[in-house]
């Protein structure tokens, strides 16, 4: 299972990196052409869609890594039995939300049949909006892959507060007096 999770993480990481590189190229092209007085008619629309795609795929990757906003301090204050119950309830709520998002996203794709981008009439809105149901499914997969680890943490000593850990590491790395030495 660990090897499968690592592979899944790598695939999502590659997708996010490719989307980020493509978005960077699009933005640079848009800037260069606009500076030359030759604005690209499709730039704004495609850049907006690229940012949405990056956000959705990046969120699936963040879900797999457990990097979304959480409240570990509050959950850790619960007794273990309540911590496990609240973790299971939270996971059920997240999964139900993404199942609903998948179904609704597919319904939206049906509605968008025949519609195209304004600036690129050969590109279907079904393609651009397919990111919603696709990444909702990817998010569900990520949550299910991470669930055994989350449940083990809930049953054990509790959840690690990544933000608190990072802040403490930063404080330990800072020289005495809080400033930088010259």
Q: Per residue, what are the HEC states of 78-96?
A: CCHHHHHHHHHHHHHHHHH
**Two structure tokens written together for 75:** 């959950």
Say yes or no to pLDDT of 182 above 90. no
Q: Give residue for tokens 């879900």.
A: 63
pLDDT confidence band for 164 (50 / 70 / 90):
low
> What pLDDT, on the 0 to 100 scale, is given for residue 24?
96
pLDDT, one tens digit per residue, over 103-152 is: 999 999 999 999 999 999 999 999 999 999 999 999 999 999 999 998 98
- Give me the mean pLDDT over the 4-25 stretch: 97
Q: How far apart are CA 28 and CA 42, in angstroms?
A: 14
> Which of 37-41, 56-60, 137-141 is predicted least confidently?
37-41
pLDDT-based confidence at residue 3 (cuts at 50, 70, 90): very high
Task: Fill in the DSSP letter of residue 119.
Answer: S
pLDDT of residue 180: 55
> Which is more confident, 68 or 167?
68
Strand partners of residue 124: 116
Residue from 70, 60, 56 nearest 142 by CA: 60
Q: What local confidence, expressed as pLDDT, does residue 178 receive?
A: 56
DSSP calls for 16-57? HHHHHHHHHHHHHHHHHHHHTT---TTHHHHHHHHHHHHHHH
Confidence band of 69 (pLDDT split at 50, 70, 90): confident
């Amino acid at each position: 299972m660990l090897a499968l999770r690592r592979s899944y993480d790598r695939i999502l990481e590659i997708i996010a990196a490719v989307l980020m590189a493509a978005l960077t190229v699009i933005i640079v092209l848009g800037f260069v052409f606009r500076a030359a007085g030759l604005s690209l008619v499709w730039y704004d629309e495609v850049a907006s869609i690229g940012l949405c795609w990056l956000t959705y795929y990046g969120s699936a990757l963040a879900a797999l890594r457990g990097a979304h906003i959480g409240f570990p301090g509050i959950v850790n204050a619960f007794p273990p039995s309540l911590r496990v119950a609240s973790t299971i309830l939270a996971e059920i709520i997240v999964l139900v939300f993404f199942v609903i998002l998948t179904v609704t996203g597919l319904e939206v794709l049906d509605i968008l049949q025949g519609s195209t981008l304004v600036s690129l009439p050969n590109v279907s809105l079904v393609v651009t909006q397919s990111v919603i149901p696709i990444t909702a499914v990817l998010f569900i997969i990520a949550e299910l892959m991470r669930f055994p680890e989350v449940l083990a943490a809930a049953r054990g000593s509790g959840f690690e507060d990544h933000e608190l850990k990072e802040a403490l590491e930063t404080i330990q790395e800072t020289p005495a007096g809080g400033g930088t030495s010259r």
